[in-house]
Amino acid sequence: MALTTLYVELLSFACLLAAIHGVNGRAVNQFPEDFLLGAATASYQIEGAWNEDGKGENIWDHMLHEHPEYGNNGENGDVACDSYHKYAEDVQALKDLGAKVYRFSISWSRILPTGDLDVINQAGIDYYNNLINLLLENGIEPMVTMYHWDLPQALQYLGGWPNPILADYFLEYARVLFDNFGDRVKWWLTFNEPYTFTRGYASSGSQAPSQNAPGIGDYLAAHTVIRAHGMVYRLYDEQYRPTQNGKISITLNCDWFEPYNDLEETLEAQERMFQFQLGLYANPIYVDGDYPAVVRERVDNNSRAEGRPRSRLPSFTEEEKRMINGSADFFGLNSYTTMLVISAALGHSPSMDLDCGVLRIINFTWPSSSAIWLKVVPWGFRNIVNWVSSRYPNYPIFIAENGYADTGELDDEGRISYYGQYLAELLKAINEDGANVIGYTAWSLLDNFEWNSGYSQKFGIYQVDFDSTERTRTPKASTSFLANIYRNMSVPEEYFQ
Ligand code: NOJ
């Protein structure tokens, strides 16, 4: 055999081995041994019992009761999946799925009806204690989000997140959670998707509390949220970690932004989009305690041009920067899809859209789901995981949400195909590209209340019958598909071809 032929043969053998075993010696389709696979939900989307047993009103209750037209056909979360009464069925569903972790959120106003410490609602504490205990009895780790968009309405009467004092209220609420649940909860997330919920201060009709102060309210809210996150992290770190020994972080959301073309200005737009959506939160927490330079500069310049005496984006004090910098034990990431991006002057003045200057385009040639924004683009998932892993190194990534929308059919082939392909791309990021990812909770365990889309978009691995007072849960085809993956800790090889 000629030397060159031998060389080529050896090389292809090496490539084959790499394909089977990845960079870390593990088969490419295999999850790391201690990887946490599970499912996620959120309080307002599943619990119902909106005014039972002492729960206070929250901003979603309030907005959709006052403005049913903001929802889908007047739908709301008053009953939802009735998980307040049916949590034991949810735990059974998780067990049947083989979930090792359940990410759920606590409703602030179920624990503190006024948002403050004047009333502590024991029934609310009992509810979450029962859920946590049942999870643990079934070998499922609870992962708790403290805030998944349902602010006590009493705190909205004070202005909500744009009011800096909300950080103090959040700190006190967090203390109640650590005191009551921290002996058993070892995974904490302060906020879910601040980029999304702070839009509730930028426009009316979509996110609660529907306050129309674009380019101002959203930045003020973000500023309070980042401070509140840092404060709660430090509280845990100093007062609870020594005895409770858990991990705490925040969940940020970002899809992959694919440049529309390879012009320099398009690549700059791509970077801006990442920085305005993800960097706004991730840079202070994971990089240097402060906003990304491009965000700071553009908002400051626009504010000046508008004749304002101050920037619409507030500044952190040096002490706050120190407190916020490094305030996470891992990186919680929600990601679903990919969009095309191109530089553009759009949006009214003032607004974050105008400050950012990027047009996001939905590519209708990509495979769709039933949600207009959610295109099935598995390679984009690998890209965003790798982007986060390279920009914010030293922090393990936990995929806190990823999932597919349809109209609720039991034979949910679209969901099976989505999870097969997305999990394969995730495994390539881990095993071929070396990303340090430690867990994945699919969105969602149950069909549930999908915010403005009401019950028209279904993300569940289990179907819920919203026409029945029983809210019957039924496994879909994707339930056993995911259960197999969860049991074997591997994705079928056909998804790697
Ligand atoms: C993100 C949110 O956290 C969750 O509440 C929502 O239902 C899913 N994405 C799907 O849109």
Per-residue tens of pLDDT for the chain, all 497 residues = 443 443 334 334 443 444 456 777 899 999 999 999 999 999 999 999 999 999 999 999 999 999 999 999 999 999 999 999 999 999 999 999 999 999 999 999 999 999 999 999 999 999 999 999 999 999 999 999 999 999 999 999 999 999 999 999 999 999 999 999 999 999 999 999 999 999 999 999 999 999 999 999 999 999 999 999 999 999 999 999 999 999 999 999 999 999 999 999 999 999 999 999 999 999 999 999 999 999 999 999 999 999 999 999 999 999 999 999 999 999 999 999 999 999 999 999 999 999 999 999 999 999 999 999 999 999 999 999 999 999 999 999 999 999 999 999 999 999 999 999 999 999 999 999 999 999 999 999 999 999 999 999 999 999 999 999 999 999 999 999 999 999 999 999 999 98
335 Cβ closer than 6 Å to some ligand 1 atom: no
Q: How far apart are CA 481 and CA 474, in angstroms?
A: 14
Does domain 17-257+273-338+368-491 bear CATH number 3.20.20.80? yes
CA of 448, closest atom in ligand 1: 7
Query: What DSSP state is assigned to residue 392?
Result: S
CA of 253, closest atom in ligand 1: 1
Structure tokens at 260: 């529309």
Structure tokens at 367: 């495979």
402 Cβ closer than 6 Å to some ligand 1 atom: no
Q: Where are the domains of the chain?
A: 17-257+273-338+368-491
Active site residues: 193, 401
191 Cβ closer than 6 Å to some ligand 1 atom: no
Cis amide linkage into residue 444, ω under 30° from 0: yes
352 contacts: CB under 8 Å, gap ≥ 6: 202, 214, 215, 218, 219, 276
Q: How many angstroms separate the alpha carbon of residue 33 from the centre of ligand 1?
A: 28
CA of 192, closest atom in ligand 1: 3
Gyration radius of the chain over CA positions: 23
78 contacts: CB under 8 Å, gap ≥ 6: 48, 50, 61
Query: Dihedral of CA 367/408/383/45: which sign?
Result: positive
Which of 89, 81, 45, 88 is CA-nearest to residue 466? 81
Q: How many angstroms separate the alpha carbon of residue 336 from the centre of ligand 1?
A: 9
Query: What DSSP state is assigned to residue 437?
Result: E
Q: How many angstroms separate the alpha carbon of residue 201 from the centre of ligand 1?
A: 18
255 Cβ closer than 6 Å to some ligand 1 atom: no
Structure tokens at 233: 């992290």
192 Cβ closer than 6 Å to some ligand 1 atom: yes
